[in-house]
Chains A and B, each alone.
Chain A
């Protein structure tokens, strides 16, 4: 008898704490939203908004992506994760750094707390990069998806570096331009370089896999990679050196890159064998539809349309919301239920397969909670965007309440899975096999 192939999956303590922290961060940012309705009436450089944004991008999105990537890197790169120990250190640094940074922004304490937070976060990104690079270096086959993932990790490091310099600059001014100048750089490298590239790299592999589709050729992905990176590099060059102020062509390049990815997924959908999509995949396609919003709004913030300052401030806020609480949050809310049940199932039932009758991953969470989570999320997003555009605090509060409901439902399902244990397993018989 041959022994089973050793699984390439990392241990559960590498992956699962990230999901727990991310769920709590989503809940925290929703509660912070409840107390920040007054902050949406002006400029985006506001302590409360900066705190919420960093809880969203670090504690929620990046944390969950790190955890999911440790599980998915072996799938995408067809190899083993380089170091679980590095992953543990990365988690400790990212979680501590996020909490300290959120505290520092909320209280606008730009002293040592912010400096320490920024250093911890940069170190966390550095360790993450080492893990990703070493894992990729040992991959038996290099793919375009690997290009996306490795490059996105590099952009994350650059984002962290700019953030660290800005944090130090609060106390010891040395940067020649004002903060908002670097904030635009920091935000766009993070949005397009880290999140967009990473999501495309992983999504290009996972979404067709979940749809049981086999798209032919990766030409569109190669173009997507080239356009997004070219747009980003040219934007940085212009923003820091050339200063032509012509931002629209670079935004157009990034947009074209994202559209190539969407066209790739359209090809995949044409060949999909699954006729019905589950709630997780439906929510994923809601996220992809929401991606169109920032792709349009990026032109509104990069072309001088002659909008009054108040309206422009609102458009800037909606642009940020549409990326972090729109596209990225919607995607996480969907993909969590395509990945986490599977991960928990493997850790709980791997030893029982073939011996006992086991439940399926989709039986490990409440579909009713998930359905209501998706509904309350959409309600919250629409209300928040409408409230910001109308500058109406009650509407913003309505959005914040709906987001809090979403976060509670999400956390309930996530923790239900995280504490799942095998119990009352019946020995496998051919009679109960398909029941």
Chain B
């Protein structure tokens, strides 16, 4: 069965909750680092940011997202784009992320 764009967006976000920011210890979705998920011509396009520009984790997190999505969607191509605008601020952390930060 072919997935709809809306379905796949929520499915991708759910999958990306498996990618943990190693420094902070919570997942990149609840940290608010995933800006956009889109599907076009069988290619998944992810816009990802980091908590600070120049972060040494840029390559690592990008690879983690790519590898994970390729495993989850073996028949699709995956593009991960690092974006810096709008700049990430702590206000982007979800309620669940804030709850997890409180527990850490």
Contact = CB atoms under 8 A, between A and B. Distances in A.
Interface of A: 1-2, 4-9, 71, 74-79, 205, 209-210, 212-214, 271-276, 278, 342-343, 345-346, 349-350, 353-355, 360-362, 428, 430, 433-434
B10 interface: no
A212 B24 contact: yes
Nearest to A355: B67
B51 A7 contact: no
A355 to B, nearest CB: 6
Which of the listed residues B19, B59, B70 has the most CB atoms from chain A within 10 Å of its own CB?
B59
A1 B90 contact: no
6 contacts: A8-B58, A79-B54, A212-B90, A214-B89, A275-B102, A360-B20
Contacts of B78: 1-2
Contacts of B19: 354
Contact of A354 (B54, B64, B81, B93): B64
A7 B82 CA distance: 13
Given A7-B56, A275-B101, A430-B15, A1 B89 contact: no
Interface string B73-104: 00001111110000001100100001001101
Interface range on chain B (Cβ under 8 Å from partner): 35 or more
Which of the listed residues A74, A271, A433 has the most CB atoms from chain B within 10 Å of its own CB?
A433
A361 B90 contact: no
A2 B71 CA distance: 15
B33 interface: no
Contacts of A75: 52, 54-56
A296 to B, nearest CB: 34
Contact of A77 (B15, B17, B54, B66): B54
Contact of B53 (A78, A273, A343, A362): A78
A139 B45 CA distance: 29
B67 to A, nearest CB: 3
Given A274-B101, A428-B71, A4 B63 contact: yes
B63 A353 contact: yes
A433 B26 CA distance: 12
B23 to A, nearest CB: 6
